Amino acid sequence: MSDLSAEIAAAAARLVVEEGMEYGPAKRRAARDLSRRSVRPAELPSNEEIEDEVRTHLSLFHADTQPAELAALRRVALQWMTRLAAFRPHLTGAVWRGTATRLNSVHLQLYCDDSKSAELALIDMGVDYEVGSLPGPRADPVDVLSVASRSTELGEMVTVHLTVLDHDDLRGALKPDSRGRSQRGDLAAVRALLDP
Domain ranges of the chain: 3-61, 66-194
For 54, phi then psi, to 5°, come to -60, -45
What percentage of the chain exceeds 70 in pLDDT?
98
For the cut 80, the answer to whether the pLDDT of residue 172 exceeds it is no
Q: What is the pTM of this model?
A: 0.92
Quote the pLDDT of residue 92: 95
Quote the pLDDT of residue 82: 98
Q: What order of strands is seen across the sheet that includes strand 130-135?
A: 130-135, 141-151, 156-166, 106-112, 90-92, 184-185
Quote the pLDDT of residue 196: 66
For the cut 70, the answer to whether the pLDDT of residue 139 exceeds it is yes
For the cut 90, the answer to whether the pLDDT of residue 107 exceeds it is yes
For the cut 80, the answer to whether the pLDDT of residue 149 exceeds it is yes
* Mean pLDDT for the stretch of residues 86-103: 96
Quote the pLDDT of residue 181: 81
Distance CA 136, CA 175 (A): 16
For the cut 80, the answer to whether the pLDDT of residue 24 exceeds it is yes
For the cut 90, the answer to whether the pLDDT of residue 136 exceeds it is no
How far CA 163 is from CA of 70, 116, 123, 177, in Å, comes to 21, 12, 16, 19
Q: What fold characterizes domain 66-194?
A: Beta Polymerase; domain 2 (3.30.460)
Please enumerate in sequence order all residues whose Cβ is within 8 A of that of 103, keeping only pairs 6 or more positions apart, or say none: 17, 18, 19, 20
